[in-house]
């Protein structure tokens, strides 16, 4: 969310940014919110003037009432002044109510005006205009067939989607045996990988209040993703950075405590509404998965440095698991409204002979901090920090890349050296079928 003062002073910059995001239907909102802001400031000033006048007149009434004991003519003057005070009080009550209404109208509009994107973001209407920046590792297509990922898992008796369908419906799964162990091994390795980078490990709440949801994401994202607990002001998290950033709601962080670098484990729950849905076979798009996340809260001048560092961590981790990846810069139309800059890390799929998303790294500037009323107290006063997040790993989707890239011709799956301590020392998984 932008600062209303910035919108007021830079309406053309805000409108140009909206055009760059191909959201022209939001252009009228800029003039609308500026007009509401002007009315609100006028209302606040009039209310303040009335409070001052009321205090002055109330004191005068007291004086006149005292004088009326000796001079009865002062009583009529006091009564007239009382009537004025009553009229001012009625007007003040109206103005205070109007202040509340205007503040709510302004906030609703400000929540949907997109954040100002970084000048380096490529301009385009949708993800077809995302730009490949660089590749890491040589994408290899072996001379033997790579089965669909659920077929690979089934060869180890490692997945049962039919049973999950009977129990929970489409978009759920049972992981079994070696595949389930591999799933947990990847999460444990990712956790320790980030701890070794100096991040503090955290297991956050898996449900959050509505005001936190509003603080960390747009209404469009919330409607498409979040499950609400019936009868409660609680939502199941779609990703743990929501809960992790929410940790700082209404907090003043001492500047010496920055940066906050946290890595969190959580289950995640998503409706997966929209163009893709859950019609795709397997475990690529599902309602429930687990995830290791990284979150940074830092000084504004440090956020781009952290952005670069965070996506490089993803590359390093995937390359340590013998998975080729590439960095894809997200274009303006593909950025969620709160994001200043974002990139995807995509893993190579030998079966499809193309890359697919496994991590998403985002710099949100001060948008979440402003919504959540997070502040930093420094030597020169208080200011809003910047927030960033990035996926470390999100199995079981990540397992698709792992299994395809480590599958051998005989159907076995090799275990990279870094993962063996988490797999009981196993160097290879041997299929049962």
State the DSSP string of 280-322. Answer: SSTTSS-SEEEEEEEEEEE-GGGHHHHHHHHHHHHHHHHHHTT
Task: Transcribe 187-198 into DSSP letters.
Answer: HHHHHHHHHHTT
More confident residue, 389 or 282: 389
* Residue found under tokens 């994401």: 217
Tokens of 233: 């002001």
Give the pLDDT confidence score for residue 280 in this predicted structure: 58
Banded model confidence at residue 207, pLDDT cuts 50, 70, 90: very high
Q: Identify the CA nearest to 399 among candidates 321, 342, 310.
A: 321
CA distance 191 to 291: 10
Q: What is the pLDDT of residues 245-259, one digit of tens each?
A: 999 999 999 999 999
Residues 6 or more apart whose CB falls under 8 angstroms from that of 149 comprise 282, 283, 284, 351, 399, 400, 403, 404
Q: What are phi and psi of 98, to 5 degrees?
A: -65, -35
pLDDT computed for residue 279 by the predictor: 46
pLDDT at 273 over 60: no
18 versus 58: the higher-pLDDT residue is 18
Closest CA to 148 of 159, 139, 138, 137: 159
pLDDT at 276 over 60: no
The tens digit of pLDDT for each residue in 160-185 reads 999 999 999 988 999 999 999 999 99
C-alpha to C-alpha distance for 262 and 420, rounded to whole angstroms: 25
Q: Answer whether residue 15 shows pLDDT above 80.
A: yes
Cβ neighbours for 298, distance < 8 A, ≥ 6 positions apart: 258, 259, 260, 306, 385, 386, 388
pLDDT band at 278, cuts 50/70/90?
very low
pLDDT at 1: 87
Return the minimum-mean-pLDDT range out of 40-49, 219-228, 272-281, 383-392: 272-281
CATH superfamily of this structure's domain 127-429: Bira Bifunctional Protein; Domain 2 (3.30.930.10)
Average pLDDT of span 129-144:
95
pLDDT reported for residue 17: 98
CATH 1.10.287.40 correct for 4-110: yes
Asked if residue 54 has pLDDT above 90, the reply is: no
pLDDT score for 30: 98
Least reliable range by pLDDT among 205-209, 275-279, 290-294: 275-279
- Please name the residues in contact with 415: beta carbons below 8 A apart, sequence gap of 6 or more: 406, 423, 426, 427, 428, 429
Phi, psi of 80 (to 5 degrees): -65, -40
Q: Is the pLDDT of residue 275 over 80?
A: no
Q: What is the pLDDT of residues 104-129, one digit of tens each?
A: 999 999 999 999 999 999 999 999 99
- What would the pLDDT profile of 63-110 be if each residue is shown by its tens digit? 667 676 667 767 767 667 777 778 888 889 999 999 999 999 999 999
SS3 content of the chain, % helix, strand, coil (to 5): 50, 20, 30
Higher pLDDT among residues 242 and 285, named by residue:
242
Count of Cβ atoms closer than 10 Å to residue 341 Cβ: 22
Predicted pLDDT of residue 257:
97
In the chain, what are the domain boundaries? Answer: 4-110, 127-429
């Amino acid at each position: 969310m932008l600062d209303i003062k910035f919108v007021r002073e830079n309406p053309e910059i805000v409108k140009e940014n909206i055009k760059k995001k191909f959201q022209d239907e939001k252009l009228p909102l800029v003039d609308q919110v500026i007009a509401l802001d002007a009315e609100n400031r006028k209302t606040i000033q009039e209310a303040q003037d009335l409070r001052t006048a009321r205090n002055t007149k109330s004191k005068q009434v007291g004086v006149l009432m005292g004088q009326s004991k000796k001079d009865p003519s002062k009583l009529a003057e006091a009564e007239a002044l009382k009537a004025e005070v009553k009229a001012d009080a009625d007007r003040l009550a109206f103005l205070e109510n109007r202040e509340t209404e205007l503040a709510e109208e302004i906030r609703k509009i400000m929540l949907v005006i997109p954040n100002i994107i970084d000048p380096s973001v490529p301009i385009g209407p949708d993800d077809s205009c995302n730009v490949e920046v660089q590749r890491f590792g040589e994408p290899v297509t072996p001379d033997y067939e790579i089965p669909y990922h659920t077929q690979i898992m089934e060869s180890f008796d490692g997945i049962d989607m039919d049973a999950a369908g009977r129990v929970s419906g489409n978009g759920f799964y049972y992981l079994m045996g070696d595949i389930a162990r591999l799933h947990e091994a990847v999460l444990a390795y990712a956790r320790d990988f980030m701890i070794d980078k100096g991040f503090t490990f955290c297991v956050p709440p898996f449900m959050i209040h509505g005001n936190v949801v509003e603080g960390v994401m747009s209404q469009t994202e919330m409607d498409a993703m979040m499950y609400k607990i019936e009868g409660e002001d609680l939502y199941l998290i779609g990703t743990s950075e929501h809960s992790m950033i929410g940790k700082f709601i209404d907090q003043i962080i001492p500047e010496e405590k920055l940066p906050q670098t946290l890595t969190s484990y959580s289950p995640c729950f998503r409706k997966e509404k929209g163009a893709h849905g859950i019609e795709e076979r397997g475990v690529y798009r599902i309602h429930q998965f687990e995830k290791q996340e990284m979150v940074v809260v830092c000084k504004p001048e440090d956020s781009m440095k952290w952005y670069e560092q965070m996506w490089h961590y993803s590359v390093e981790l995937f390359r340590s698991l013998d998975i080729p990846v590439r960095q894809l810069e997200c274009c303006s139309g593909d950025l969620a409204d709160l994001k200043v800059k974002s990139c995807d890390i995509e893993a190579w799929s030998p079966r499809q002979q193309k890359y697919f998303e496994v991590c998403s790294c985002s710099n949100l500037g001060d948008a979440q901090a402003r919504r959540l009323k997070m502040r930093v107290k420094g030597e020169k006063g208080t200011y809003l920090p910047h927030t960033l997040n990035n996926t470390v790993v999100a199995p079981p989707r990540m397992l698709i890349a792992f299994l395809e890239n480590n599958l051998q011709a005989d159907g076995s799956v090799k275990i990279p050296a870094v993962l063996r301590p988490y797999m009981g020392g196993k160097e290879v998984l041997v299929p049962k079928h």
